[in-house]
Amino acid sequence: MYRICGKKRLSGSIRVQGSKNAALPMLAASLLCKGCVVLHNCPKILDVYAMLSILKHLGCYVKWEDNTVVICTDGLFSCKVPKKYAGAMRSSVMLLGPLLGRVGCADLAWPGGCMIGARPVDIHQMALKQMGVRFESSKNCIFAACRGLYGAVVRLPFPSVGATENVIMAAVLAEGTTVLKNAAREPEIITLCKFLRAMGARISGEGTETIYIEGVKSLKEAEYAIPSDRIVMGTYLMAVLGTGGEVFLEGDCAGCLAAPLLLARKTGARIQERKQGLKVFMEEPSHVPIQAVTAPYPGFPTDLQSPLLALMAVSGHICTIKETIFESRFATAGELKKMGADIRIEGQKACVYGKQTLEGADVSASDLRGGAALILAGLFAEGVTTVHNASHIRRGYEHIETDLRMLGADIDAVGSH
């Protein structure tokens, strides 16, 4: 658990960790290469450890060297991912494309992860069926197989990040050309495509709604650096807005935060976007009304909705946020209410009657970003806040207590986490 004593102004400089949402598909994509892949700046978080455990279970060799991970896939001997591994995280579903491309089958226990909504895999299945994949699903697992993947024109009904990644990874070794329409445009999609090109894939159009993938016979070994985590940087940005202070966030992802930065400037923050990172100056904690709607990139990211909810709770004004991606992402509101927040949920919209401060309390994280939001609430609150179920937060934040402590926060990780 985490123990936070709030009302400390933040100042200083920290380096933002490697991106979770970029690292996981890149780790999955390593299966497409019969050889070794080297990934630098890989975050040491629970979701990455879970993905590496899956790769080792499938027969791969994995070695850490500081924050560099080496994956050698020559020994791949299985396409079966049991519940012990798949149940640890939602991202196990992105092994579908790489396993189908490499060995022509994938046998996955149903993926686990955060309880933030249904997050169905039917979009993945619909898209891959058009490329020659047949599925057999039960309440326990998803089995997929093909006699060979072939290119197709695939249009996603929604720009799902995971489905976009799965189609791209399946298509790179497919016969012919795949045209993926209504594709997700997130920066992590661009990173995955650049990484696959480094391995010899032929891909164009990433970052737009239409991506073209021309299948190749095989991929080669590659070495690549994972970019900084824009959601972690956005979380720390929200922290400064709610505490006041002057902070430099070192990382190469500031250009991917246009929507959060626009919101931050509306709260009164002075922000300098630099090549090396983000300089944030907030003279006093934010006390302005805030309105936001989550949306696929380049809109306001759903992964920052919960941290923003914590900021709204101390705004001193009526604020609203509409969630358009995940239907159960307001679960954190109940825990924030324990700290005195006045939040009213109406379907997919939250109306927050912001106060000047919150009161420290014992609260529990039920998902990754909600857990980070509770830590932020603790920073904004009077007295001591204890956040339980820290393992949710460790799924995506490498050392959140160390980072915040370096900026002057009074926070400690206590006991098992």
- Where b means 16+ CB within 10 Å and e means fewer, 174-202 reads beeebbbebbbbbbbbbbbbebbbebbbe
Compute CA distances 359 → 158, 171, 244, whole Å. 40, 52, 18
**What is the 3-state composition of the chain as percent helix, strand, coil, each rounded to the nearest 5?**
35, 30, 40
Contact 240, 212 (CB under 8 A): no
Task: Considering the candidates 60, 72, 79, 114, report the single residue annotated as catalytic.
Answer: 114
Say whether the peptide bond before residue 285 is cis (omega within 30 degrees of 0).
no
Q: d(Cα 170, Cα 7) in Å, to the nearest integer? A: 49
CA distance 314 to 381: 9
The Cα-based distances of 389 to 152, 344, 394 in angstroms read: 44, 24, 9
Q: How far apart are CA 61 and CA 55, in angstroms?
A: 8
Contacts of 29 (CB under 8 A, 6+ apart): 98, 169, 192, 195, 196, 199
- Residues in the chain, how many? 417
* C-beta atoms surrounding 399 within 10 Å: 16
Residue 374 half-sphere exposure toward CB, CA atoms < 13 A = 34
Measured in degrees and rounded to the nearest 5, phi and psi for residue 281 equal -125, 120
How far is Cα 154 from Cα 416, in angstroms, rounded to an integer?
46
| Contact residues for 262 (Cβ-Cβ < 8 A; gap 6+) | none
Contact predicate 387/358, CB 8 Å: no
Please name which of 406, 356, 407, 361 lies closest in space to residue 242, comparing C-alpha atoms.
356
Is 5 catalytic? The answer is no
Residue type, 21: N
Identify which of 184, 170, 92 has the alpha carbon closest to the alpha carbon of residue 128: 170
Active site residues: 114
